[in-house]
C-alpha cells in the first residue's frame, strides 16, 4: 500500500484531503470568531511565526464571509469534540462545541508551515472527531515536584495533541503535594521532600485552582489522585498514628542495597524509590476520618467528576484488609458526590462502590489476576481506562541505554508505544473501555526537560491510539512515523525538549 504523507497531522484525523499549495498569512489576515479558540489561534500563530493575525471586530461579524479565518460553532457538524476544517482561499473552522474549535485550532497549528515565500496554512479539507472520549496523561508530582508554571507548560503541550484529561498523582511515599486545611501537617512536614533530596513542594488550594482553570481553558479535565492505602509513607511523617510500620520485603531490601538507598523508617522522610512498604492503618476509624476530610477538601476544589484513590502496590497489606479498605474508600468518594477511579488492584474487592472506574496498568498480555481485577469494575457497573504498562507507560526507557526512565515493564521504543490496541487487552465489551491514559512516573525525572524527553514523542503515539479511527488507512506505523517527524519544527518552536528518536525521520521545516 502507498501512503501519501501530504498532511502532516498527528493524531490522524477521521478524513483529510490535501489541497493545492498554501493559504498565505500576514498581519492583515483577519480572524473572526468570539470563541476563546480564536484568541488562542492568534497567540499560537504569533509564537510560531512572529505574525500577529488581526482579530476581526464586531462590525465584520455581520459579513462573516469577509473574514479570512472564520471560527464558528455548529453542533450538527460532528460528534462532540469534533470539527470540520476547510483551508482554501480562506479558512473555515466549524466546531461541534468549544472543544471541537480548540482541536481544529491545534490542527491548524500543524498545517502552519514556513516556505520560501513566507508563512501559510497547507490547504486541506478535514473532518474530525475523537475515537475515545477519554484521552489522558498522568504526571507524578510526588517523586519529583513540578511547580504551577511547569504543569501549565505540560498542559499546553499535551492539549496540543488533543489529550483531554490530566491525572495528577498528588501523594506518595516521598511527599504530599496538596494543601489540606483540616490536616495541616501534611504540607508542613511532608511536602518538602522528594526522591534523592531533590526539591519538594506542594500546591496551595489557590495554586490547584489556577491549574484547574488553566487546564479547563485548554479543554483538559484535571483528575487528582491521593494514593491509598499503600504509597502512604509521607502521611506517616506528618501523622505517624495513621500509618503502619513499614513492611520490608526481601525484594525491597535487596533493591535498596543495590541502589544504595536506605530502608524506610516509620515517621521519617523516605527519599528512595522502593514500593510496596507502606499502608495506612485499615482497622483504625481515625484513618477514615482522615480519608473523609481529604476527599471532601479535594472534592471542593475539583470541578471535574472524578477523584482517584490509588490502590496500587499495597504489597504489605493483607488481602482482606485491602479489600475492606477499597470498599470503604470508594464509598467515601461516592458520598462526597464524585466518581471514584482506582488502579486495577482495587477490583479484587467484591463490594467496591458501583460505578467505580478502574485503571488497568498491567501488560498488554495480562498477567496473574490483573485481568480479573479489571473486569470486576465492569461487573460493578463501572468502566476502564487502559494504561498498559508495556505500551503506554511514558517512564519506560526507549532503549536500554537511554539515560532517563525505568525498565521494569518493558523497553518501549516509539513503534511499540504506537502499536497496541486498548480494546484487545482484556476480555470486556469494547464499550467498557473509556479510552487510555499514558502515565509519567517521575522517579528519574528531576526537571521538566527530563519529563519532556520521556513524554515526547511517545505521547504523540498515545494521542493517535486514543483519537484516530482504528480503521483509518493512515493509522499505521509507516504513515505515523513520517507525520510525527513533521511535528519537529512546531515542537522546537514551542521549546519542547523532545527525544529525537532515530526511528523517526525528523523534518527541519
Question: Closest distance between ligand ACM and the C-beta of residue 309, in Å?
Answer: 12
- Hey, how many other C-beta atoms are within 10 angstroms of the C-beta on 499? 18
Residue count, binding to ligand ACM (CB under 6 A)? 4
Question: Closest distance between ligand ACM and the C-beta of residue 365, in Å?
Answer: 17
> Which of the following is catalytic: 125, 150, 216, 313?
313
Segment 332-351, which members bind ligand ACM (CB under 6 A)?
A: 343
Q: Are 175 and 200 in contact (CB under 8 A)?
A: yes
Nearest-10 crossing angle of helices 448-455, 148-159: 20
Q: Are 441 and 393 in contact (CB under 8 A)?
A: yes
- Hey, how many other C-beta atoms are within 10 angstroms of the C-beta on 399? 12
Question: Closest distance between ligand ACM and the C-beta of residue 420, in Å?
Answer: 17
Among 103, 121, 360, 361, interactor with ligand ACM by CB under 6 A: 361
Between 154 and 343, CB nearer to ligand ACM: 343
Residue 323 in contact with ligand ACM, rule: CB under 6 A: no
Q: Are 44 and 109 in contact (CB under 8 A)?
A: yes
Residue 491: CB partners within 8 Å, gap ≥ 6?
157, 456, 498
- How far CA 465 is from CA of 142, 311, 382, 422, in Å, comes to 27, 26, 22, 8
Q: Are 365 and 427 in contact (CB under 8 A)?
A: no
Residue nearest to ligand ACM (CB): 312
Between 104 and 272, CB nearer to ligand ACM: 272
Residue 101 CA to residue 82 CA, distance in Å, equals 8
Question: Closest distance between ligand ACM and the C-beta of residue 406, in Å?
Answer: 10
The H or E element spanning position 433 is: strand 433-440
Q: Dihedral angle at the C-alpha atoms of 256, 259, 262, 264, nearest 10 degrees?
A: -50
Residue 312 in contact with ligand ACM, rule: CB under 6 A: yes
DSSP per residue over 271-329, as a string?
A: -S---S---B-TT-HHHHHHHHHHHHHHHHH--SSEEEEE----TTS-HHHHHHHHHHH
Nearest-10 crossing angle of helices 458-467, 448-455: 50
Question: Closest distance between ligand ACM and the C-beta of residue 310, in Å?
Answer: 8
Between 273 and 339, CB nearer to ligand ACM: 273
Between 290 and 441, CB nearer to ligand ACM: 441
Between 203 and 441, CB nearer to ligand ACM: 441
Q: Phi and psi of 187, rounded to 5°?
A: -85, -30
Residue 365 CA to residue 367 CA, distance in Å, equals 7
Residue 395 in contact with ligand ACM, rule: CB under 6 A: no
Question: Closest distance between ligand ACM and the C-beta of residue 341, in Å?
Answer: 12
Between 361 and 498, CB nearer to ligand ACM: 361
> Which residues is 54 bridged to in the sheet?
30
Among 156, 313, 419, 494, interactor with ligand ACM by CB under 6 A: 313
441: its cell numbers? 512516573
Residue 52 DSSP symbol: -
Q: Is residue 488 classed as helix, strand or coil in its secondary structure?
A: helix
Question: Closest distance between ligand ACM and the C-beta of residue 343, in Å?
Answer: 5
- Hey, how many other C-beta atoms are within 10 angstroms of the C-beta on 369? 14
Between 313 and 494, CB nearer to ligand ACM: 313
Residue 117 CA to residue 219 CA, distance in Å, equals 34
Between 95 and 230, CB nearer to ligand ACM: 230
Q: Is position 464 annotated as part of the catalytic site?
A: no
Question: Closest distance between ligand ACM and the C-beta of residue 247, in Å?
Answer: 16
Between 234 and 496, CB nearer to ligand ACM: 234
Question: Closest distance between ligand ACM and the C-beta of residue 345, in Å?
Answer: 9
Binding site for ligand ACM (CB under 6 A): 312-313, 343, 361
Report, as residue numbers or ranges, the catalytic residues.
313
Amino acid at each position: 500500500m502507498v501512503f501519501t504523507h501530504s498532511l502532516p497531522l498527528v493524531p490522524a484525523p477521521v478524513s483529510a484531503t490535501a489541497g493545492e499549495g498554501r493559504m498565505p498569512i500576514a498581519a492583515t489576515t483577519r480572524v473572526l470568531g468570539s470563541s476563546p479558540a480564536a484568541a488562542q489561534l492568534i497567540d499560537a500563530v504569533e509564537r510560531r511565526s512572529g505574525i500577529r493575525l488581526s482579530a476581526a471586530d464586531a462590525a465584520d461579524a455581520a459579513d462573516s464571509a469577509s473574514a479570512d479565518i472564520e471560527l464558528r460553532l455548529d453542533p450538527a457538524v460532528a460528534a462532540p469534540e469534533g470539527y470540520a476544517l476547510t483551508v482554501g482561499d480562506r479558512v473555515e473552522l466549524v466546531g461541534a462545541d468549544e472543544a471541537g474549535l480548540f482541536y481544529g485550532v491545534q490542527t491548524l497549528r500543524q498545517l502552519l508551515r514556513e516556505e520560501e515565500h513566507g508563512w501559510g496554512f497547507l490547504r486541506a479539507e478535514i473532518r474530525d472527531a475523537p475515537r475515545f472520549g477519554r484521552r489522558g496523561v498522568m504526571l507524578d508530582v510526588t517523586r519529583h515536584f513540578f511547580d504551577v508554571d511547569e504543569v501549565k507548560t505540560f498542559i499546553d503541550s499535551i492539549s496540543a495533541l488533543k489529550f483531554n484529561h490530566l491525572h495528577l498523582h498528588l501523594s506518595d511515599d516521598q511527599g504530599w503535594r496538596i494543601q489540606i486545611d483540616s490536616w495541616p501537617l501534611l504540607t508542613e512536614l511532608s511536602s518538602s521532600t522528594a526522591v534523592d533530596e531533590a526539591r519538594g513542594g506542594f500546591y496551595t488550594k489557590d495554586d490547584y485552582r489556577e491549574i484547574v482553570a488553566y487546564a479547563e481553558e485548554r479543554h483538559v479535565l484535571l483528575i487528582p489522585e491521593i494514593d491509598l492505602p499503600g504509597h502512604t509513607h509521607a502521611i506517616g511523617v506528618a501523622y505517624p498514628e495513621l500509618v503502619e510500620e513499614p513492611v520490608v520485603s526481601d525484594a525491597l531490601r535487596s533493591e535498596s542495597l543495590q541502589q544504595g538507598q536506605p530502608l524506610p523508617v516509620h515517621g521519617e522522610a523516605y527519599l528512595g524509590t522502593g514500593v510496596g512498604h507502606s499502608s495506612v492503618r485499615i482497622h483504625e476509624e481515625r484513618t477514615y476520618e482522615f480519608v473523609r476530610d481529604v476527599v471532601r477538601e479535594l472534592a471542593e476544589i475539583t470541578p471535574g467528576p472524578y477523584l482517584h484513590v490509588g490502590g496500587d502496590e499495597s504489597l504489605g497489606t493483607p488481602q482482606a484488609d485491602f479489600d475492606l479498605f477499597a470498599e470503604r474508600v470508594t464509598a467515601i468518594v461516592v458520598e462526597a458526590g464524585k466518581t471514584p477511579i482506582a488502579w486495577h488492584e482495587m477490583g479484587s474487592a467484591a463490594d467496591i462502590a458501583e460505578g467505580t472506574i478502574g485503571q488497568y496498568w498491567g501488560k498488554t498480555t495480562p498477567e496473574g489476576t490483573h485481568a480479573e481485577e479489571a473486569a470486576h469494575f465492569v461487573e460493578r457497573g463501572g468502566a476502564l481506562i487502559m494504561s498498559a504498562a508495556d505500551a503506554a507507560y511514558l517512564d519506560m526507557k526507549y532503549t536500554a541505554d537511554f539515560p532517563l526512565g525505568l525498565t521494569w515493564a518493558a523497553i518501549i521504543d516509539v513503534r511499540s508505544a504506537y502499536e497496541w490496541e486498548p480494546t484487545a487487552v482484556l476480555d470486556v465489551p469494547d464499550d467498557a473501555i473509556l479510552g487510555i491514559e499514558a502515565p509519567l512516573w517521575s522517579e528519574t525525572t528531576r526537571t521538566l526537560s527530563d519529563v519532556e524527553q520521556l513524554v515526547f514523542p511517545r505521547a504523540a503515539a498515545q494521542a493517535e491510539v486514543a483519537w484516530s479511527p482504528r480503521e483509518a488507512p493512515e493509522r499505521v506505523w509507516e504513515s505515523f512515523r513520517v507525520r510525527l517527524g513533521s511535528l519537529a519544527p512546531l515542537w522546537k518552536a514551542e521549546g519542547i525538549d523532545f527525544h529525537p528518536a532515530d526511528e523517526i525521520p525528523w523534518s527541519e521545516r
